[in-house]
Chain A
């Protein structure tokens, strides 16, 4: 479920579908939408686990300020999925703690 026609932001046009990979699974996303929107539209709500107590996190502020929604995107941890647009073939992974590099 996603908002295609917004009263203020207008309509998503053109509605081009692309495919992105999330934890090894291919899902459909609309070109240009934030990663978080694509995940929610595919009923994926759990984005990461916190460092200290391994608690689940997903969308909170949705405006790029709280870092609740960060995931590992194309290998880069701490990427804010609510303000990062999807791209064809993007690889998104659940982040555990601060993630890892390499």
Chain B
């Protein structure tokens, strides 16, 4: 950061991940004075360590499905508009069924979501292998979401941040809040390790750090970090056309919308199978999920655990002697009901929550940015976010 930090602004966005950078962009585009602050470097949190998936498949009908579909449309626009190539592609997703039972369970799953506006298709083994020849013939079929996609999450954050900066936003890295000053129930200023900024709005877009910021105004945020480990393979020639995820993982980790969210909290460890081939050719192989507080270390055991599942679904990786070059881990930001925590808070005018995005932060980043920008600029949002208010936790 060159020169002195701004002393006054209209909106301070705390947290330099996908939510923060996208929100700063939309606000700057709407003409607001914005400061984006990040305690480390942009995308150094969960936004920089994930598989870059953007999916509508799991979303139950209602605002979540509307938001995911709208967010993908925003990504469509940005893949043309931003100066960076964020490698966004509507490559499609297969949620593969490894058992006949899973295949049967996916019938109502697809029906419910299509009634809510999605366009999923349940396809059988033959069609699946025709569309994705490298998958194992032992699979029973899959839910096909032709419009789901993937993106390079790092580039997406950098692209939004650069675009925000061009539009006048000020971005400060290695800057973190130490206190928030409020008077008469209104946000007045935010004190940081680099000085104080007078502001009207503060947006809490910190991932697992959201409770720390909310504590500064006496608010408790019920966020549970869930560590996800994933593997990265060497660059491969094109092996996959679409993102692959196994239906079993999705039910454990992501809300089915059919009421079975308790399963997620009971298991302390979940092992799943997700394979996403990046534009460069590396395969991102997910993953092992654990509730281990804020321990972001990777474990040796995750290698065989993840590999077993992947090889069941993509046996070709064994044939071609594919090598794993590294692994990494970061956090999902789980909330007790798997819904995000968005919007204004009771009792403190100007403080806005933008966190608790569970495992769909990369997908929802743009739309959350847009909705919160609308909330601040025109007082209402095109998709209702009342059910995501913090007050629901009592």
Say which one of B122-130, B158-166, B231-239 lies at the interface with A.
B231-239
- Please indicate the chain A residues that have their CB under 8 angstroms from the CB of B235 in the complex: 51, 78, 98
- Please indicate the chain A residues that have their CB under 8 angstroms from the CB of B321 in the complex: 76, 78-79
Alpha-carbon separation in the docked complex, A79 to B319 (Å): 13
Known A-B contacts A98-B281, A101-B239; the reply to A78 vs B234 at CB < 8 A is: yes
**Chain B contact residues: over half helix, strand or loop, or mixed?**
loop
- Please indicate the chain B residues that have their CB under 8 angstroms from the CB of A58 in the complex: none
B320 touches A77 (CB 8 A): yes
- Please indicate the chain A residues that have their CB under 8 angstroms from the CB of B234 in the complex: 67, 78
Among A67, A79, A98, contact of B236 (Cβ-Cβ < 8 Å):
A98
Give the distance to chain A from B314, nearest Cβ to Cβ, in Å: 12
A-B contact count (CB 8 A): 29
- Please indicate the chain B residues that have their CB under 8 angstroms from the CB of A100 in the complex: 237-238
- Please indicate the chain A residues that have their CB under 8 angstroms from the CB of B323 in the complex: 78
Give the distance to chain B from A29, nearest Cβ to Cβ, in Å: 21
Could you say which interface size class chain B belongs to?
10 to 19
- Please indicate the chain B residues that have their CB under 8 angstroms from the CB of A79 in the complex: 321
- Give residues 58-102 of A contacting B (CB, 8 Å): 67, 76-79, 97-101
Known A-B contacts A76-B321, A77-B237; the reply to A101 vs B281 at CB < 8 A is: no
B 211-239 to A, binary, CB cutoff 8 A, 1 in contact else 0: 00000000000000000000000111111
- Which residue of B has the minimal Cβ distance to A95? B237
Give the distance to chain A from B29, nearest Cβ to Cβ, in Å: 33
- Which residue of A has the minimal Cβ distance to B234? A78
Whether a CB of chain A sits under 8 angstroms from the CB of B179 is no
Whether a CB of chain A sits under 8 angstroms from the CB of B316 is yes
- Give residues 313-338 of B contacting A (CB, 8 Å): 316, 319-321, 323
Give the distance to chain A from B278, nearest Cβ to Cβ, in Å: 12
B 92-136 to A, binary, CB cutoff 8 A, 1 in contact else 0: 000000000000000000000000000000000000000000100
Give the distance to chain B from A54, nearest Cβ to Cβ, in Å: 15
Alpha-carbon separation in the docked complex, A35 to B316 (Å): 24
- Which residue of B has the minimal Cβ distance to A75? B320
B320 touches A76 (CB 8 A): yes
Residues of A within 8 A of B (CB): 51, 67, 76-79, 97-101
Q: List 16 A-B contacts (CB under 8 A).
A: A51-B281, A67-B234, A76-B320, A76-B321, A77-B237, A78-B234, A78-B235, A78-B236, A78-B321, A78-B323, A98-B237, A98-B281, A100-B237, A100-B238, A101-B134, A101-B237
Among all A-B residue pairs, the 7 with the closest Cβ atoms: A98-B237, A100-B237, A98-B281, A98-B235, A99-B237, A101-B237, A76-B320
